[in-house]
Structure 1
Amino acid sequence: MAIYSRTVNSRTNLADVLAAHFPWCASDAEPIRTAFGAYTERKRGQNVLDFDDLLLFWKALLDVPRLSVVLGDLFDHILVDEYQDTNAIQGDILRAMRPDPANLTVVGDDAQAIYSFRAATVHNIVEFPVTYPGTRSVTLEQNYRSLNPILEASNAVMAGSRTVYAKTLWTERPGGVRPLLLTSTDEPAQSDAVCTEVLEQRERGVELRQQAVLFRAAHHSAHLEIELSRRNIPFVKYGGLRFIEAAHIKDMIALLRVLENPWDELAWWRTLGLIDGVGPSTSSKIMAQLGVRPRAQRSPLKIFLETMPKAPAPAVPQLEDLRGALEDCTATPAPPAVQIERLTLWCAPSWHRRHNNAAARVADAGRLAQIASGYSSRSRLIADLSLDPPQSTGELAGAPMLDEDYLNLSTIHSAKGCEWEAVHVIHAADGMIPSDMATKDADEIEEERRLLYVAMTRAKQRLCVHFPLRYYHRRMGLDDAHGYAQLTRFLPGHVRSLFDQRSWGAPEEDDTQEGAPVTGAARVDRWLSELWS
C-alpha cells in the first residue's frame, strides 16, 4: 500500500516510483501493476473508498468545469495551513478551487517540510508565487516559544540549507542557557544520561509532562524505554502505532464496518478471523454463502442473521454468538457507544485467548466507546476515526505517579506542532539523523536537516542533543561487537560553538587504589591472596 499511495499522491509513474523509492521491488513491477488494478476493481465492487480515493474523487469533481465553478463559489475565502506538507494532488485541488489568488492564503514553513515519505512535496509552497503571480509574501520570524540560545543554534543548523524563504528566528524573551551537546560513550550511557537529565529538570520544577525525548525513528527509543521502566519513570510514547492501528481496535472497527456496509469484504475477513477454527479458506466459503463475494443483491448481514452459514463444528458457537451480537446492534437504533459495548462483549473472549494483555485491550475498547459517546451516527464515527484518528494514550510504562506525571517520548514527525519546556534529542549521529535510508540525493538530505531543525525548535527553555559514540552490533559473527559513530553532519564546528559540550559515561577504572600500581604477576598474586586471606 505504501507503493500504491506514493504513486497516486505524487502523480508519478509506477516504474519511476519503484526505481526511486522501492528498488528492491522493481523486478516485480508487472505483478504489482496487476494487483493495483484488481485492488481498484475490488473497491468499486464493494462501494468503498480508501484515503487516496477521497482526494482523487474530489479532484475528479473539480475537473468538470461546471462543478468546479460551483464548488469554488461555495467559499468566499480559502486558507490552507501547513501548506508545505501538501502533495501534488492537493496542489491541483487548490488550483482548481482557486485559479486566481483572490481571497486565497496559504500558511507554511518550507524549513519544516518533513513528510516526503507521505508523498508531500515542498515544491507546492516554494512555487506558490509562480503559480499565483502577484502573491504577497509575509515572513514570520519572531518566535514566541524558544529562548534566544536555542534559536541561534537552530538558525545555524538551517544556515547551510537550500531553503527558498530564508528566515532568521528571533525572540523578545530574555535570558536562557545555551543548548547542551552531550556525548555519551554508548547507547546505554545515553539512556542513563537522558534519565539523569530528565530527573534533574524535574527537581528544578519542570514536570515530566513538560519534557520530551525526540528521535528519528520509533525503534530508536527501545533501549531508553527499558531504562525508564527500570527506574520507574512513567512515560507515554507517540509515533508508534496510532490508536486505531492497534489490532484490537481494528477488530472493533471491522465489526462496525460490517454493520455499516455489509459488502465490505475486508471487514468480514477480519471479523471471521477472530473465530477459532476459521482460517482463510473457511472465511472465503462463509463470505461466499453470505453473498459478500461474489456480490449478492440482498444484504449479507441480513442473510447472516437469518441463516447460520456452514462452518466447522468448533466455530459454530462463536458464530452463533456473533449473530447474536450483530442482531442486538441492528434490532434497535442504539447509539454507536452502546453498539461498541455490545461488540466488546463478543470480542473479549477472543482477546483473552490470543493475547496476554487482554485487560488492557478491553480497556481500550472502553476508550473507543467513550469517543463514540459524542456521536449519534455510526457512519460519522467510522469516518472520523479513519480520517482523524486519536493517538493512543494507554502506552504508559507503568502506573503513573500520584500527580499523573509522565515523560513524553515521540518521533520527530509526530512532535511537529508541539512544544515542551525541555527537549532531549537522542541519536544525533550520522546514520540516525540523517537516517542512512534517506541520503540518496540532496533533497533527502535537506529534509533530514529540516527534521533536526524541527526537533530543536520544539524546546522552550532547555535543549539537550545526545550523541552516543559507540553502537553495539554483530555484523560479522565473531568480529568486534561495536562500531564508532560520527556526529551528525548537521552540527559542524561553527554550529557546535553555540552549544555547551559535555561527555557522559562510565569513568575509567582506578588502578591506583591504596599505594603503588599493581601490575603483571603481582596483580594476579594479590587477587589470589585475597581469595584465601
Structure 2
Amino acid sequence: MIDFSKELNPAQLEAATALDGPVLVIAGAGSGKTRTIVYRLANLVASGVPASKILLLTFTRKAAREMLERAERLVFRSGSAHISLAGVQGGTFHAFAYSVLRTFKPVGFERAATVMDSADMLAALQVCKGDLGLGGKGDKSFPKTQTILGYISKCRNREQDMETLLMREAPHLFPYAPDMQRLAAAYTAFKRDKSLLDYDDLLFELEKLLSVSREALAWCWKKHSHIMIDEYQDTNLVQARLASLLSGFSRGAFGPSPAEGAPDGETPQGGGNIMVVGDDAQSIYAFRGADVRNIRDFPHLFPGTRLIRLEENYRSTQPVLDLANAVLEGASEGYKKHLFTEKKGGDLPQVIRPRSDLSQANVVAQRIAELLALYPAREIAVLFRAGYQSYHLEIQLARMGVRFAKYGGIRYTEAAHVKDAVSFARLAVNPLDFTAFQRMASLTKGIGDKTCRKLYDALRHSDAGTVAKAAKKYPDFGADIAFVDSLRLRHLSPETLFGEIIAHYTPKLQELYPDDYPKRLQGLEQLAQIAASYTDLDLFISDLSLDDPFEEEGEREHVTLSTIHSAKGLEWSAVIIIDLVEERFPSRHALQRHEDLEEERRLMYVAVTRAREYLGLCVPATLYSRGSAVTVPAEPSPFIRIIPSTLYEEWLEGFTGLARRPVFTPPVGAARRSPFDVPDDDAPGDDALGERPAPPREFKPGPARAASIPPVPIADDAARGEGASAGLISPLRQGESGYCRHKVFGRGKIVQFLPPDKYRVNFPGMGLKVIMGAYLEIEKEG
C-alpha cells in the first residue's frame, strides 16, 4: 500500500486524496505539481475507480506518457500488483478530440473526416490563394502562405478577427487583412467541401458535436467519470469550454447543468468530477491563445470548487523565493500564494547594474566565467525577453571560447538577414572576400552561382567592362557594388558603417521578408548598437565571424541562452536575467495595456523561479541611443523597483570593475517607505511618508469576465496642446483630493489639470505622465 501521508506534504496529500467534485490545484513554481498528479492517479485506481474511466489531458504526449509511467512504477513499488493504470486515456486535447470524432462524424459532414498534416494545410491554402487570385508572382509583398496559415490559426485559437489580430501583432500586414480574411473563409469552405479537418478544427468540431449531439455527450460522460487537466493556465477558450462540457458543468443545448438540477440519469457518472492543476502566475502564452481567465474564473464556472494551494517549493533557495514572492505582490489580481522551502541557507540574489547596455555583455560574460568555477556549464542559463537581446553576449562568449546553445531564437550567426548585412561590412574590409561577395550578389534576382563566379573573377582581374555590363543588366547589383565602394572610400566607425548598411539594406529586407521584417530590422539595429562598442572595424568583423568552435561536438556541455518563454518548465543552478529596464522588460507595448503588463509580471516570475541557487538580475544604468549617438539614463524595470532592497545584494559596475553597494540601514525608529508609496509633499507628520497600500487582494471570481482594457493614450511633451506647452496650471476640480489611480501605473499624485480632459500625474518610479481623465480613477476628498 502507498503511504500517502508519509510521501507527500500536507497540501499535496490534500490534492491527491481529493477524489470528488471540481478541484482546482494552484501549483506554485517548483511545488511538485507532477508528483501530485501521479499520486492522485494512483489513488483513484487504488480507490476503485476503473482506469478506463480516467481521462488525463496534457499539452504534450510526452508529459502524459511520463505521468502514467511514474504512476505505474509507484503502484508497482507499493506492492499493489493487482492495480493497473493501463486503461487510463492520457494525451493532448487534440488527440482526445480526434478519438471522439472518429467515433462520431463531425456535425454537417456527410462522411468521416480526414485530418490534414501541415503539408496538406499549406497545399490547400495555396489552392485557395490561386482561386482568389491573391499573392501572384507580381506581388512580392503579399504574406507567404505559411505566415497566413499561422495567423489563421491564431485567429481561431484566440477567437479574434483578422483585423484585430494584425493591428496588435503585425501592423505592417494590416493592409492585407481583408484579403487574408477572405482567404481564411475560402480555406474553411475548401476543408468542409472535401471533408477535411486541420489541427485547430479538431477542438472546435468536438465542441460543436458535444453541444448538439446528446448521444455523443452521453457517450463521453459514460466513458470518462474522472477528468484531470494539467497546465490549465495555458488553456484557450475552446479548451475551457470543452472541460465544462466533458465534466457535465455545461450541457450544450440539453438543458441545465448538474449544478442547476439536471434530470436523473443525465448526470455524468463522476458527478461532474474534474480536477485541474496549474498556476495563474505562470500564464505566459497569451500570444498562442492561452487565456489566464480560464483558471481565474474556474470557481465561478465550476460551482462548488475546492481550492488547494501547493506552495512548498522543492527547487529554489528561500532568498530566491522571497524575491519571486515580491514580484507577485504587485499583481492586481490572482490567487494569493507564498512560496517557501524547507531548505536551509542560500545566498541573496544579485542585482547587477552595468554602466550601460553596451557593457552589460562583458559583465555577464565575466560572471559566467566565475560561475563556471562553481557549476557545470549545463547548470548555467542566461534568460532574456526577446531573442535579439542576446546578440552582444553571443559575441562575447564566442570570443572567450565559452560553449553555448540558444533556444527561443536563432543565433546572430545563423540569421539570414544578419549574414546579408554583414556581407557588406566584410567587403568594405576585404573587397575580394568571395563568401561575402557571393552573399551580396545572391541578393540580386537573376544572379546564380555561375554568374557570381564570373563577376567575382572580373572584379579580381579589374575587368571594368564586364563589371559595367553586369551593373547595367542587374541594377540592384550595380547599386550594391557602388555602395560598397562608397563605404571603402570613407573612414567610418563600425557604428556609422553599420548604420549606413542597414539604411541601404532595409528595402531589400522588406522585399525578402515581408512577413516579419520589423522583427528582423530590430535585430539589425541591435547589431548596430553592438558596433558602437568597437573602434576597430576589422576586430568587429572578426568577432562577428566567430562561430562556436565546439558546435559540432553535439552533446558537449554548454551554457544555455534562452528566451523566458522557451525556459518555462526548466531549471538551472545559476540563472542570469538581462536587460531589466523599461521598454525591454517589460516590452514597450506592454506598458499600454494593463493585461499585457500583468503578463510581463508573470513572465518575470517564471524567469526568477528557474533558478535553484544563484540568481543575477542585470539592470543597465544607461542605454545607448544610436540615433543621437549618446547614452541616456535607463529606467529600471518596475519589477525591479518593487523589490525591497533587503532581498538582494546590489553590485555596480564602476570604472575599475564590479563593486558591491553597502546595504542602507534606516535609522532606528524610521518608517520604511514601500516601493508603492506615493509621497505627499503637503501632508504633515507621518502622513508625509505615505500609506502602504493594502496587500494584493486574493482573486475572487465575479459573475462575469471583465471587458478588456482599452489602450491607454499617453501624450508626450510635444503633444500636450497649447495650454500645457504654455505652462498654464489649472486648479483641481472641486472635490478632488490630488491623487488618482491608474490600471498600469498605480497610485499617483496629480500635478496639474490640463483642460479639457487631461491630467499631468507623477507616478512613483514611473515619472510624469499626461493621461486622459477617462483612464484615471480620481480620488475624492474625505
Q: TM-score range by the shorter chain?
A: 0.5 to 0.7
The equivalent residue for 2:373 is 203
Q: Matched residues in 2 for 1:237 and 1:22: separation?
A: 25
Q: How does 1:296-445 map to 2 (within 5 A)?
A: 397-399=548-550, 404-445=556-597
Per-residue Cα deviation, 1:402-456 (whole angstroms, up to 9, x for no partner): 9921101111011111111000001111111101132221110000011011100
Structure 2 equivalent of residue 96 of structure 1: 245
Residue 227 of structure 2 corresponds to which residue in structure 1?
Answer: 78
Matches of 2:632 and 2:567 in 1, distance apart?
Answer: 30
CA 1:402 to 1:431, structure 2 compared with 1: closer, same or farther past 3 Å? closer
What is the Cα deviation at residue 15 of structure 1? 4.5
Match of 1:223 in 2: 392
Alignment partner for residue 408 of structure 2, among 215, 224, 239?
A: 239
Residue 165 of structure 1: aligned partner: 335
Structure 1 SS opposite 2:616: strand
Q: Please point out which of 203, 208, 230 is paired with 1:60.
A: 208
- Number of matched pairs: 357
Identify, as 1 or 2, the structure richer in strand: 2
Counterpart position of 2:351: 181
Structure 2 gap segments, 5+ residues each: 1-147, 250-270, 417-445, 447-546, 658-782
Structure 2: how far apart are the matches of 1:139 and 1:419?
21
Answer whether contact 1:98 1:104 (CA < 8 A) is retained. yes
Offset, 1:35: 1.9
Distance in 2 between the 1:506 and 1:224 partners?
20
1:9 aligned residue = 157
How many Å separate the matches in 2 of 1:481 and 1:69? 69
Letter in 1 for 2:387: A
Percentage of identical aligned residues: 38
| Corresponding position of 1:131 | 301
d(CA) in 2 for partners of 1:174 and 1:46? 63
User: Is residue 282–residue 602 contact of structure 2 (8 Å, CA) maintained in 1?
Assistant: yes
Q: Is the 8 A contact 1:86 1:120 kept in 2?
A: yes
- The offset of 1:14, in angstroms, is 4.0
Counterpart pick for 2:611 among 454, 459, 465: 459
1:167/1:199 CA distance change after superposition, 3 Å: same
Q: Distance in 1 between matches of 2:394 and 2:646?
A: 31
CA contact (8 A) 2:356 2:620 kept: yes
Judge conservation of contact 1:210–1:407 (CA < 8 Å) in 2: yes
Relative distance call for 1:25 and 1:130 in structure 2 (3 A) is same
Contact kept, 8 Å, 1:189 with 1:506, in 2: the verdict is no
Task: Indicate whether 1:154 and 2:308 are aligned.
Answer: no
Q: Distance in 2 between matches of 1:9 and 1:31?
A: 20
After superposition, the Cα gap between the structure-2 partners of 1:39 and 1:94, relative to the gap in structure 1 and judged at 3 Å, is same
Asked if the contact 2:405–2:561 (Cα under 8 Å) also holds between the matched residues in 1, the reply is yes
1:33 to 165, 181, 194: 181
Deviation at 1:24, TM superposition (A): 5.3
Alpha-carbon contact 1:214-1:455 (below 8 Å) kept: yes
Question: Could you give the per-residue CA deviations for residues 213-269 of structure 1, whole angstroms, max 9, x where no partner exists?
Answer: 111111111111111111111111111269xxx99xxxxxxxxxxxxxxxxxxxxxx
Deviations, residues 378-413 of structure 1 (Å, cap 9, x unaligned):
xxxxxxxxxxxxxxxxxx933168992110111101
Judged with a 3 Å threshold, the aligned counterparts in structure 2 of structure 1 residues 505 and 50 are, in CA distance, closer, same or farther, namely: farther
Question: 1:3–1:22: 8 Å Cα contact kept in structure 2?
Answer: no
Structure 1 residue 62, shift from structure 2 partner: 2.3
Q: Secondary structure at the match of 1:139?
A: strand
1:88-116 Cα deviation digits (max 9, x unpaired): 01111111211237321100111111111
Measured in 1, the distance between the counterparts of 2:567 and 2:389 equals 15
Answer whether contact 1:10 1:119 (CA < 8 A) is retained: yes
Alpha-carbon distance, 1:153 to partner: 0.8
Residues of 2 paired with 1:465 and 1:405: CA distance?
24
Alignment-derived partner of residue 145 in structure 1? 315
Query: Deviation at 1:164?
Result: 2.3
Structure 1 residue 21: Cα displacement = 4.9
The answer (yes or no) to whether the contact 1:427–1:433 under 8 Å persists in 2 is yes
Q: Under a length normalisation based on structure 1, what TM-score does the superposition of the two structures give?
A: 0.62
Residue 138 of structure 1 aligns to a residue in which SS? strand
1:198 positional shift: 1.5
Structure 1 gap segments, 5+ residues each: 248-276, 278-395, 509-533
Aligned to 2:767: none
TM-superposed deviation, 1:162 = 2.0
Kept after mapping to 2: 8 A contact 1:147/1:175: yes
Q: Aligned residue for 1:256?
A: none
Distance 2:634 2:403 in 1: 30
Q: Structure 1 residue 159: deviation in Å?
A: 0.3
Relative to 1, partners in 2 of residues 1:168 and 1:68: Cα closer, same or farther, differing over 3 Å?
same
More helix by share: 1
Q: Give the corresponding residue for 2:236.
A: 87
- 1:155 and 1:120 map into 2 onto residues whose CA distance is 23
Q: Secondary structure at the match of 1:194?
A: helix
Residues 45-94 of structure 1: per-residue CA shift (max 9 Å, x gap): 67654432232233233233321221343223211111011110111111
Alpha-carbon distance in structure 2 between the residues aligned to 1:55 and 1:493: 41
Q: Work out the CA distance in 2 between the residues paired with 1:231 and 1:51.
A: 45
Hey, what's the Cα distance between the residues in 2 that align with 1:164 and 1:198? 35
CA distance in 2, matches of 1:151, 1:456: 8
Q: CA deviation at 1:466?
A: 0.7
Whole-angstrom distance in 1 between the partners of 2:554 and 2:285: 38
RMSD: 2.9
Tell me how far 1:42 sits from its aligned partner.
4.3
Tell me how far 1:458 sits from its aligned partner: 0.5
Task: Measure the CA separation in 1 of the matches of 2:642 and 2:204.
Answer: 47
- Note the C-alpha offset of 1:16: 4.3
Which SS does the other structure have where 1:185 is aligned? coil
Establish whether residue 190 from structure 1 lines up as the match of residue 360 from structure 2. Answer: yes
Query: In the alignment, what sits opposite 2:291?
Result: 121
Of 653, 656, 674, 1:504 maps to: 653
Q: TM-score, normalised by structure 2?
A: 0.43
Structure 2: which amino acid aligns with 1:93?
L
Q: Please say if residues 323 and 643 of structure 2, whose CA atoms lie closer than 8 Å, have aligned partners that are also in contact.
A: no
Tell me how far 1:481 sits from its aligned partner.
4.3
Distance 1:501 1:60, change over 3 A: same
**8 Å contact from structure 1 (residues 421, 459) kept in 2:** yes
- Cα separation, 1, equivalents of 2:184 and 2:202: 17
Bigger relative contact order (CA 8 A; separation at least 6)? 1
